[in-house]
Structure 1
Amino acid sequence: MGDPSSSTSWSSQKETEDDRMIALMLSEEYTKLDGAVGRRLSNLAPVPHVPRINTYIPNLNDATLDHQRLLQRLNVYGLCELKVSGDGNCQFRALSDQLYRSSEYHKQVRREVVKQLKDNRSMYESYVPMKYKRYYKRMAKLGEWGDHITLQAAADNFAAKICLLTSFRDTCFIEIIPQYQAPKREIWLSFWSEVHYNSLYDIQAAPDQQKPKRKHWLF
């Protein structure tokens, strides 16, 4: 009789390979720069990005004010969010939606970002205030919040300019540029600062969406 664990492992590997193939096919459809969101924000000067881990989570009052500020900015620039679940994977879900037009490939995105971190230690280690192996192993866990280092790794891995419309009082717009190659695409995210990421669209081109499950205490 065959080992049932081997069968389960093979099935899981097959599903992962199928997901990777589907994601690759979808990605190829969206490699051209859309530009619609960028045109709306063309008058904003981006702030240089500094990779860092998450160190501060705002209290409820500050988070509420930040969220109101972000909503005002979205309204001013004619943008809207495709909201993703607040389950600890929101950064990877938002990246997945921008890359593949579905947030459901967030596990694949996380794996690729962690591989980028693992294989290119010299590019990121100086930003990590802990043992580097411990950091990327922690980041590999489903539900672990992405940070500004994983955003840089995503920009590098996907050859993408990642643009954040933020709720920071003094920093409206942040650009994250690939370190050693020219960007081949743009990724637009909203960033409710240190709380939540969503995928960002021109309001006239926003896709239909189902309401995400609310799993975080702030939303």
Structure 2
Amino acid sequence: MAHSQKEVASSSNSIAPLSRMRDTEDDRMIALLLSEEYAKMDGAIGRRLTSLPSIPHVPRINNYFPSTPDVSMDHERLLQRLHAYGLLEKKVSGDGNCQFRAISDQLFKTPEHHKYIRKHAVKQLKEFQSLYEGYVPMKYKRYCKKMKKSGEWGDHLTLQAASDKFGAKICLLTSFRDTCFVEIVPQQQAPQREIWLSFWSEVHYNSVYDARVVPDPQKQKKKHWLF
């Protein structure tokens, strides 16, 4: 019996390094794909909406959720704005990972790398704590541990961390009554590209495209190491 337990322990110990190696390889290959997508950026939506006034972005965690009537009104307002500017949402799953899925779709043309986005946003939060901890009204380690979990809703602070980590200006077309446009810019570098998201206030994020050129998921080139 003791011998059997040792064999199980040995097997378990050998799996962990293999899993870490696979994660590292996936990260390397996704980073390569990210660099390829950066090279293709054209800023088409940005050129169309440059006249929109934006409000300063204030990083904050989720602490307000609208009532049911407000949610319905906000969604209708967002849909009207998307239509007015000739934009279309590429919908992502509402499983608590929608912010990270929408960012993944903008960077990689697929929402499936949301775990990679979350992982590196949280890594940014941990490595540069002094940039973010002033916005967190709880123990910072607790906040990072919570945000690391799949299904935990992203907030305006994780948007800032993602902007900083990936060197991207994140543009939100929102359902806010007072403004429809919010920009999140990297704090310590010039943005390398733009990410366009719709934000149904405190409810859901989607990826946004020009209605004439929404990418067809069936035509996306699949990488065997990503699926």
- Could you tell me the TM-score, scaled by structure 2's length? 0.88
Query: Which position in structure 1 is the counterpart of 2:15?
Result: 8
- In the alignment, structure 2 segments of 5+ residues that lack a partner are 1-6, 219-227
Q: What SS does the aligned partner of 2:38 have?
A: coil
Q: 2:34 & 2:23 partners in 1: Cα distance?
A: 16
- In the alignment, structure 1 segments of 5+ residues that lack a partner are 211-219
Query: Which position in structure 2 is the counterpart of 1:103?
Result: 111
Tell me, yes or no, if the aligned pair for 2:57 and 2:182 is still in contact at 8 Å: yes
Between the aligned residues of both structures, percent identity stands at 62
Query: Which position in structure 2 is the counterpart of 1:153?
Result: 161
Deviation at 1:209, TM superposition (A): 4.5
Q: 1:26 & 1:101 partners in 2: Cα distance?
A: 10
Deviations 1:111-135 (A, max 9, x none): 1000100010110011111111111
2:129 corresponds, among 121, 129, 135, to 121
RMSD (Å) for aligned C-alpha atoms: 1.5
Tell me, yes or no, if the aligned pair for 1:37 and 1:201 is still in contact at 8 Å: yes
Deviation at 1:101, TM superposition (A): 1.3
Q: Does 1:19 align with 2:60?
A: no
The letter of the residue matching 1:158 is F
Q: What SS does the aligned partner of 1:155 have?
A: helix
Tell me, yes or no, if the aligned pair for 1:82 and 1:209 is still in contact at 8 Å: no
Aligned pairs, how many?
210
Give the 5 Å matches for 1:161-172. 161-172=169-180
Query: Which position in structure 2 is the counterpart of 1:187?
Result: 195
Q: Does 1:197 align with 2:208?
A: no
- Could you tell me the TM-score, scaled by structure 1's length? 0.91
Q: What SS does the aligned partner of 2:134 have?
A: helix
Q: Does 1:28 align with 2:47?
A: no
Considering fraction of residues, name the structure with more helix.
Answer: 2
Query: Which position in structure 2 is the counterpart of 1:213?
Result: none
